[in-house]
Amino acid sequence: MVHLTRKLLSGIMLAAMLGVAAVSTQANAATLHMAWSQDATGLDPHKQTAFSSLRLLELIYEPLVRVDASLQIIPAIATSWEFSKDGKELTFKLDPKAKFQDGTAVTPADVKASFERILDEKTGAAARANFLSIASIDTPDAATVVFHLSQPDVPILTAMSDVNAAIVPASEIKAGSIGTKAVGSGPFKLDKWDPNAKEVLSANKDWAGGATGVDGIEISVLPDEAAILAAMRTKQIDFALLNDPLVATLVPKEASLQLNRVPVLAYHVLQLNPSRKPMTELKVRQAISCAIDRQEVLDTASLGEGKVTGPLTIPALATDPSQLFCYKRDVEKAKKLMSEAGYADGFSATVIGATGEPPTAAAEAQVIQSQLAEIGVKLDIKMMELNVYVDAWLKGDFDMAIALNGGRADPYTMYNRYWTKSGNLQKVANYIDDTLDSQMQKGRAETDPAARKAIFAEFEKHLAEISPWIWLYTSYSYTAQQKNIAGFVPTPTGTLFSLSKVTIQQ
């Protein structure tokens, strides 16, 4: 009887946390009740880098184009696009039905103002480096935007599919309100945001993409993913984004639930800071690479849910990791490199990680701490709240960092912000050389797919050999849903955009 009472009280407490009554899904079937463990850290689509922020903002804002589950470019605000023969002009036709959530039309002036904001260094836009080839922008009529490029730029269209390239109202830019309120043209409006507690979204009736499948989405932030699973068992939650493989792998055991599991382009990585001694020494960085058993990190931290990866995670372009520098653990080689670098006795350093983002961060740090101890590296682990971690990460204020970084459908779009001389996240990478920059620029301009693949294979080989970062593994995107939820399409980018067409079956 005591056990039963505890279970009942637990259910009542959970319902209170979720802010819904036990019968809420019956009373308001057109609202999708959703949960995730990490909340957004901000609302500015051009500046946010945290996955939790991007997953929210892509429901509210739209870019000119987007990528589908097959990583093909498809329309969003733009209905069509065309490169000129010399590749130096990119013309878009806008959807005449596209409207912002305040009822105003999306115009070429809004597109121009959005990209000018992204390109303004003072904005601190996350994807600025993707668009540095834009020399000027013309708006010849009410439906047309023309980007004039300083050089052919094959990846720019893929870059424009990201929510970091979202179109925002020129009026809101002028008012200085981007980031303080959310006015997009996407499928949902943000009605309420209680940071680290709840978001309330309602359908954007003016969305050019047509009617959404639900009237709204209520998102509860529950830091413990085991609590999310418990709420799904009692049908208080319809849909959940899961990050922890320890929890996700339990979902198939629940008869009423469905797990969506797809490989993603995002990668787990140990970022070294090559601007700090002794990581300034190539042989020290290489020693760290040789000392790490990537498969053990994957098996221990993520239950083997994923695969060891090199820098490129796009399946069509990725090199077999066994062909890359020191991907088979070699402790003796690592010790020899440390000795040659003058660090035979090792050194001390601190590695930072974000609590819960990803949930495997602490476990990854612990495995790496144990492995590096074998070559005399004494690693102190410092876990931080996500917003504190992101601030330190963006400043490059760390010796080493455990990170889960986003992948992209094109290698230039994925890495130019880190590994080019003009990259706007050079502070995060803290390393660049002429070879990396040259390979990136060649890959950017090359139009022949086979030639591009060869260029980026050399880029990947060089990046692994100089070891500014130690790439570990790719994993999966996990979402869980009640079996009466239909229409969600998981993708390699991890986007939740297809929630726009999800329906709740009675």
Tens of pLDDT, residue by residue over 16-43, are 455 543 333 333 448 999 999 999 999 9
24: in domain: no
Q: Are residues 316 and 354 in the same domain?
A: yes
Q: Report the first-to-last Cα separation within the chain, whole angstroms.
A: 34
pLDDT (mean) for 332-351: 98
Nearest to 489 by CA among 260, 243, 285, 168: 260
Let me know if residue 480 belongs to a domain: yes
What is d(CA 462, CA 430) in angstroms, rounded to the nearest whole number? 16
pLDDT at 21: 38
**Does a structural domain hold residue 416?**
yes
Domain of residue 421, CATH code: 3.10.105.10
Cβ(216)–Cβ(198) below 8 Å: no
Provide the pLDDT for residue 357.
Answer: 86
Same-domain check for residues 449 and 305? yes
Confidence of residue 376 (pLDDT cuts 50, 70, 90): very high
Mean pLDDT of the chain, nearest integer: 93
Same domain, yes or no, for 270 and 414? yes
What is the domain count for the chain? 3
Residues 201 and 333 occupy one common structural domain: no
- Judge if 373 and 466 occupy the same domain: yes
pTM of the model: 0.86
Q: Omega of the bond prior to 358 within 30 degrees of 0, cis?
A: yes
Q: Which has more pLDDT, 215 or 3?
A: 215
C-beta neighbour count of 481 within 10 angstroms: 22
The model's pLDDT over 48-85, given as tens digits with 9 standing for 90+, comes to: 988 899 999 999 999 999 999 999 999 999 999 999 99
Same domain, 434 and 450: yes
Q: What CATH number does the domain containing 136 carry?
A: 3.90.76.10
Does 397 share its domain with 359? yes
259 pLDDT higher than 90: yes
Q: Which of 175, 208, 233 delimits the end of a domain?
A: 175
The structure tokens 């047309």 sit at 144
Distance from chain centroid for Cα 340: 38
Query: Within a domain: residue 2?
Result: no
- For the chain, what percent of residues have pLDDT higher than 70? 94
**Token pair of 82 as six digits:** 């065309």
Instruction: Answer yes or no: is 31 within a domain.
Output: no
Q: What is the pLDDT of residue 361?
A: 96
- Per-residue pLDDT at 98: 98
Same domain, 150 and 235: no
- When pLDDT is cut at 50, 70 and 90, the band that residue 506 belongs to is confident
Q: What is the reported pLDDT for 10?
A: 43
Residues 93 and 251: their CA atoms lie apart, in Å, by 44
Confidence of residue 9 (pLDDT cuts 50, 70, 90): very low
Condensed to tens digits (0 to 9), the pLDDT of residues 125-141 reads: 999 999 999 999 999 99
19 in any annotated domain: no
Instruction: Choose one of 147, 175, 203: the last residue of a domain.
Output: 175
The helix/strand/coil state of 498 is helix
User: Are 255 and 285 found together in one domain?
Assistant: no
| Res 18: pLDDT | 56
Q: How confident is the model at residue 154 (pLDDT cuts 50, 70, 90)?
A: confident
pLDDT, residue 27, reads 35
- Model pLDDT, residue 16: 46
Percent of the chain with pLDDT over 90: 92
Please check whether residues 316 and 234 belong to one and the same domain.
Answer: no
> H-helix or E-strand containing 436?
helix 434-445
Neighbours of 140 (CB within 10 A): 10
List of residues 6+ apart from 208 with CB closer than 8 A: 77, 95, 97, 98, 99, 185
CA 300 to chain centre: 23
- The CATH code of the domain that includes 491 is 3.40.190.10
Judge whether 35 lies within some domain: no
Q: Domain check: are 351 and 495 in the same one?
A: no
Last residue of a domain, one of 175, 203, 228: 175
- Residue 43's CB: how many other CB atoms inside 10 A? 22
316 and 449 fall within a common domain: yes
Confidence of residue 6 (pLDDT cuts 50, 70, 90): very low
User: What is the structure's pLDDT at 1?
Assistant: 34
Answer whether residue 77 is part of any domain.
yes
* pLDDT higher than threshold 80 for residue 116: yes
Q: Domain range holding 144?
A: 61-175
238: amino acid identity, one letter: D
Whether the predicted pLDDT of 316 surpasses 50: yes
Render pLDDT for 193-220 as a digit per residue (tens, 0 to 9).
Answer: 999 999 999 999 999 999 999 999 999 9
Cα distance between residue 72 and residue 95, in whole Å: 19
- Using CA atoms, how far apart are residues 338 and 418, in angstroms rounded to an integer? 26
Q: Take residue 420 and report the two structure tokens written for it.
A: 């080019």
Residue 447 confidence (pLDDT): 85
| Rounded CA Rg of the chain | 23
Q: Is the pLDDT of residue 7 over 50?
A: no
Element (H, E) at 159: helix 156-159
